[in-house]
Structure 1
């Protein structure tokens, strides 16, 4: 039967060293036996030392990718990665509203895990007002959650309150990834708020490594792959979190400096 196999889409940029971006997403889809498709928005010349150049694709070409995929495939879930500017975010939102690609996972790439800002203010507001309300799940890191709600999160109760505020923007389910504070840290605790009101923490042992490129991409890609297969949101989040923990703690030595997580460290049943 045509289009019987579960299909999932990533909207984002290509990372030439394979550690993050579309490449990390496709690794993740493969590991969960979901067929990966791509709307490419940008290409990056980068390696383990950093990003050296980038190029954003023309908006009409980006829209054409949406059109041809919608005309042929039966995509059940989609995730977003880094989106360069407000015009691109508007183009993505327009196409997601125009075509039916199933449930949306938004990885709001606004601030790095070290606190560096990645989006200009107008692009951030567009992300907040156009894309987040379309999301089934949003997966901000600690600093991104602070930026979206506009205040510091100094306690577990403030993190919980921020999750409810993010939900009020229109997204159904929220996962705030835990803060990494330094080498003396023992655990990293993610907070999850579901559409039905259930909330819980997902603790994991902190593992100090510089091999963690693609962590956020992989987490959101795993969630999207599971949603495409019909897995419920809570179980999709739990599967994604367990895999990422395994992938961080089982290092793979690729590149000289900031390397990728290990997508072969899969200890999970399919």
Structure 2
């Protein structure tokens, strides 16, 4: 990240676009070869959209999500979120931006020896002392994803589906406006994966955060209103689809509809 002190940069003039990517590129060396993981991607994403980034393995899905979330830095191009040029932030502001994004990974990335509550609270540790209100909020999130808050249970002892539910609660603890899910059902069996996907979709419908989800599974992509297909790091196609009724998901998954 840039060490410059300015935390904002002028955004491109894109009326209505909440997240803007312009000619974003990222390449990696692999032996003597240069792999263009993201090769000139330009996108406009509205606030509250549900986006599926699809394509085969090696298409650049994870790299693109990591760039948007600030986990990696592009070689060139711009990523602007709500008027903020993500990769022109100071080191401190960049860390703050990453904490503002909710991440859900394929293999959970939990601290297995800690309780579910402590795992959910972990993104808040970068802001200093965890307050009693934060602990209460973490418990409410675990209730929302239908998991116990018993401090004697280690996250590593939970099933795969339960661990992914903890990971979803962790992603939401900072009340993010952007949630990035990288193959969130890839490590789960089909039934558990469908339940987890339903939960993510229901929470997105309830809270209205922008959801960008990478997947190679067409049935998972079908749950999103817009599909962006990558191939060799480039946008091959963009498709808008009819997603499932959010009110029905809320009633079935959370009982809050």
TM range (shorter): 0.3 to 0.5
The structure showing larger relative contact order (alpha-carbon pairs under 8 Å, at least 6 residues apart) is: 2
TM-score after normalising by structure 2: 0.33
The structure having more radius of gyration, on CA atoms, is: 2
Instruction: Give TM-score scaled by structure 1 length.
Output: 0.32
